[in-house]
């Protein structure tokens, strides 16, 4: 939690332990080993945390399983060998440490910062890895229409659509669609309420794309780094009807 090269002071430690009672942040154990007040404070926070855990464990009702509709079983799905999923472990660890240092330093500043739209999209893709699969199984029209009415966008002609759901991006529910490109899955996020100033690059580990302004909203198209996304961009823009 301490910035690189700086020892943690009591204020920093007490904020950090209140955020993370497991004390997984850098410099915490070193500080507390020589600071009795912070050691006591840590004990208080951990005791409080135990009580919070107890308080959160509200009684649960018996499981009532809804009636489950029959589903066509998909046997044609394989995981996408994305570069970022095969990144050597040491790079991941190094990246985590770097992120911890950067965000730790910001945390000590105390400001609550929102992610940029591009960062949020990348974080969202990381959080839903199951969406990024190579598949030959088209989602049903029912599922697609449920997520994206043809009045909003008619993307049926874009290609094989293998994932369609609604996600929360910047506080708005938006259609999250995945279609199969030549190099792997391509993610489309249609954000009619999210304005961007101009073409905004989205660059992740092994993936990249762009957020395109469309009317009062925008569309994100993100795919494997080798994918030629240009050919999909105009098709997607043409398919979207919220600009009319």
Partner 1 sequence: MNSGNAHSVRTGRFDRLVGVLHKDMYRYAVWLSRDPSIAEEVVQEALLRAWKSLDALREDEAARQWVITIVRRENARYFERKRLETVDIDNLTPAQAGMMVAGDDSELNELREAIYKLEDDYREPLVLQVLMGHSTREIAAVMGIKPGAVLTRLHRARHKLKAVVEEAES
Which of the ranges 125-133, 194-202, 214-222, 223-231 carries the binding residues for partner 1, by CB under 8 A?
Answer: 125-133
195 contacts partner 1 (rule: CB under 8 A): no
Which of 23, 128, 154, 193 is in the footprint of partner 1 by CB under 8 A? 128
Closest CA to 232 of 195, 128, 118, 223: 223
Which of the ranges 13-21, 28-36, 205-213, 231-239 carries the binding residues for partner 1, by CB under 8 A?
Answer: 13-21
Euclidean distance between CA atoms 50 and 231, whole angstroms: 54
Tokens standing for 105?
């330093």
- In the bound state with partner 1, the residue whose beta carbon lies nearer, of 146 and 154, is 146
Euclidean distance between CA atoms 31 and 157, whole angstroms: 60
Q: Scanning the structure block, which residue is given the tokens 């290609």?
A: 159
Contact 173, 167 (CB under 8 A): yes
Instruction: Give the x-and-dash track for 74-113 against partner 1 (CB under 8 A).
Output: xx-x-x----------------x--xx--xx-xx-xxxxx
Which of the ranges 63-71, 182-190, 194-202, 223-231 carries the binding residues for partner 1, by CB under 8 A?
Answer: 63-71
Closest CA to 209 of 225, 231, 198, 191: 225
Burial of residue 21 (CB within 10 Å: 0-12, 13-18, 19+) is middle
Contacts with partner 1 by CB under 8 A lie at 15-16, 18-20, 44-45, 48-49, 51-61, 63-66, 68-71, 73-75, 77, 79, 96, 99-100, 103-104, 106-107, 109-115, 119-120, 123-124, 126-131, 133, 137, 143, 163, 165-171, 173
């Amino acid at each position: 939690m301490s910035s690189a090269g700086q020892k943690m002071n009591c204020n920093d430690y007490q904020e950090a332990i209140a955020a993370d009672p497991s004390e997984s942040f850098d410099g915490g154990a070193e500080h507390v080993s020589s600071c009795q007040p912070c050691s006591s404070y840590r004990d208080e926070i951990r005791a409080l945390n135990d009580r919070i855990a107890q308080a959160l464990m509200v009684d649960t009702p018996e499981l009532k399983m809804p009636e489950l509709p029959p589903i066509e079983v998909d046997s044609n799905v394989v995981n996408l060998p994305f570069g970022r999923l095969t990144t050597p472990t040491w790079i991941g660890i190094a990246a985590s440490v770097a992120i911890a240092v950067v965000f730790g330093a910001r945390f000590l500043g105390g400001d609550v910062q929102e992610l940029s739209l591009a960062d949020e999209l990348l974080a969202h893709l990381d959080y839903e890895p199951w969406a990024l699969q190579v598949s030959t199984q088209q989602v049903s029209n029912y599922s697609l229409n449920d997520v994206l009415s043809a009045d909003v966008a008619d993307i049926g002609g874009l290609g094989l659509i293998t994932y369609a759901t609604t996600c929360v991006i910047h506080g708005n529910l938006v259609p999250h669609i995945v279609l199969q490109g030549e190099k792997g899955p391509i993610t489309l996020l249609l954000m009619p309420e999210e304005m961007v100033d101009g073409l905004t690059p989205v660059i992740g580990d092994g993936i990249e794309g762009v957020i395109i302004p469309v009317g009062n909203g925008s569309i994100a198209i993100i795919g494997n780094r080798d994918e030629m996304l240009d050919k999909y961009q105009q098709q997607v823009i043409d398919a979207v009807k919220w600009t009319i």
